[in-house]
Amino acid sequence: MAKAEAIKEAPVPISVWLPPVAVGWLVPGGGHFLLKRQGRAALILVSVTLMYLFGLFMRGTLFTPERGDVLTILITYGGFIGNLASGVLYFLTSWLGYNQPDIAGHVHDYGTKFLVSAGLLNLLGIVDAYEIAVGKKD
């Protein structure tokens, strides 16, 4: 048993997994396209894009990092990372000047959650692309 644990697999070179991970972050599903997994790529692209668009149509707020107490920092930085994980969708909305103030209301609140959830869903796609690239998943 000790010998089996002592034998470790060689690390996968960064040049193998970095391109699918980087493209997968920038364009939802892009990493899977590089790995020739068109079905998964299309599913991730459509899911993340629709979720992001629904968030915009519901006038959700994009998070910006703010200083303050610990809870404010945690919420705003976490939401910002979730927004940023959407890749090009986030950059396009920022560059096109989308700026919805945080207002009270159920629809706006759900829109904000949809925007963050789109990024988190894209993160799952990135992890999946990484695992396929390094051979942990088929």
What is the rounded CA–CA span in Å between residue 135 and residue 130?
A: 9
Residue 84: per-residue pLDDT: 96
The pTM is what? 0.86
Question: Mean pLDDT over residues 59-83, rounded?
Answer: 92
Domain boundaries, the chain: 15-133
Average of per-residue pLDDT values in the chain = 91
Residue 37: per-residue pLDDT: 95
3-state helix, strand, coil in the chain (%, to 5): 70, 0, 30
Asked which of 48-52, 96-100, 128-132 is least confident by mean pLDDT, the reply is 96-100
Residue 50: per-residue pLDDT: 98
